[in-house]
Amino acid sequence: MDDKTNALREHVKGIFSNLELVLGWEPGYDPLHTRPFYVRTESDIDRLTANCLSVHNLTRYLAKSMNAVDPAADGRKIGVCVKGCDSRSLVALIQEKFVSRDRVYVIGLPCRGTLDARRIRALVPDPARIRSVNAEGDELVVETDQGISRFALDRAIARKCLQCRYPNPVIHDVLIGDPVTPRLKIDAENPSVAAVEALSLEDRLLFWENQLDRCIRCFACRNACPLCVCQNHCIMETRMPKWLTQYRNMNEKFMFHMIHALHLAGRCTECGECERVCPVGIPVALIKEKINAIIYEMLDYESGIDPEAVPPLLTFSPKETGI
């Protein structure tokens, strides 16, 4: 067990009597996964885990937990573990008043990058035989039945982490572990967006069509998104107005992703959950990253940084010059 997990457990033990529950992670069903975990009793604390496999953005569960306030909790707060990217989602939820800041106790965990299970499986010849994975410094150590192999960590971490600009939580009540140096500067160009933009217009269309053609409209990206807050009123499924049909063709698939992306314009915090949960490996977050880049360039705004700010497409300034 690593130091971070230990430190987290120690800290939660110390404050648990003041909290209603804590959202964290526990070991998952195989060595490549953890799963979200609700710490409800003192004895649950020893299952808490925080490592490079703690991929889930737990703020997704927060708005729901807030609505179901336990009357027995008598005003105790809800604890939530956040990485840098997760903390931005939390700020966005606070901005839009889905979560109230004084109801949450934010446990910040600086993050050196989360592992992408898909990329790890591609590294070793027999992924089913992996016994454990661990990040040691800049190396990934994979233990299989055959022995131990080491890879550069950058070959196994998620795309969003390779271009991470906020590894340290932007808001927190307590920080567990030392702050990490960001990989990219805040105003740096997004390298994956630049890679798509390097294509010609025709090729870009083909690239996206090829990617989105795989979409099976399972809506996992929408369900995992902490900021997709419409729940039963999502226009993907409403019949009035009828935006999408059940037909299985390119127009519908493309439109589905346009709806998701444009509803997150100026709100998406690039936590990458949509991309992680995609069962067919579409780089879904890449669409939203471009919109964020546009908004940063046009309105000098980044979502999920300032809890007091208003998302730019929900407000206006008469002074700015349009056409």
Partner 1 sequence: MSSKSDAKQEREIKIVGFLCNWCSYGGADTAGVCRFRQPTDLRIIRIPCTGRIDPLMIVKSLIQGADGVLVSGCHPNDCHYAVGNFYARRRMEVLKRFLPYMGFQSERFRYTWVSASEGQIWQQVVTDFSETIHRLGPNPGLHQTVDSAPAVSWF
The residue among 93, 90, 130, 136 whose CA lies nearest residue 113 is 136
Counting contacts by CB under 8 A, is residue 236 touching partner 1? no
Q: Binding to partner 1 (CB under 8 A): which residues in 143-172?
A: 154-155, 159, 162
How many residues bind partner 1 (CB under 8 A)? The answer is 49
- Hey, is 130 helix, strand or coil? strand
Intra-chain end-to-end CA distance of the chain, in Å = 59
Counting contacts by CB under 8 A, is residue 216 touching partner 1? no
Counting contacts by CB under 8 A, is residue 248 touching partner 1? no
Output the smallest distance, CB 303 to partner 1, in A.
13
Output the smallest distance, CB 242 to partner 1, in A.
11
Neighbours of 247 (CB within 10 A): 8
Counting contacts by CB under 8 A, is residue 312 touching partner 1? yes
In sequence order, the β-bridge partners of residue 204 are: none
Among 126, 187, 209, 237, binds partner 1 (CB under 8 A): 209
Output the smallest distance, CB 160 to partner 1, in A.
11
Tell me, what DSSP letter sits at residue 309? Answer: P
Among 146, 210, 238, 245, binds partner 1 (CB under 8 A): 210
Counting contacts by CB under 8 A, is residue 282 touching partner 1? no
The residue among 103, 43, 44 whose CA lies nearest residue 70 is 103
What backbone phi and psi angles, to 5 degrees, belong to 193?
-65, -40
Q: Binding to partner 1 (CB under 8 A): which residues in 175-194?
A: 191-193
d(CA 312, CA 297): 12
- Hey, is 205 helix, strand or coil? helix
Among 62, 85, 117, 295, binds partner 1 (CB under 8 A): 295
Output the smallest distance, CB 310 to partner 1, in A.
12
d(CA 25, CA 86): 13
Counting contacts by CB under 8 A, is residue 266 touching partner 1? yes
Query: Which ranges in the chain belong to alpha helices (H)?
Result: 3-15, 62-67, 84-95, 117-123, 159-162, 191-197, 201-212, 220-224, 250-263, 273-277, 284-299
Counting contacts by CB under 8 A, is residue 207 touching partner 1? yes
Report which residue type is found at 84. G
Counting contacts by CB under 8 A, is residue 322 touching partner 1? yes
| Rg of the chain (C-alpha set) | 20
Counting contacts by CB under 8 A, is residue 309 touching partner 1? no
Counting contacts by CB under 8 A, is residue 206 touching partner 1? yes
Binding site for partner 1 (CB under 8 A): 154-155, 159, 162, 191-193, 195-197, 199, 201-211, 213, 243, 249-251, 254-255, 258-259, 262, 265-266, 287, 290-291, 294-295, 298-299, 312-313, 316-318, 320, 322-323
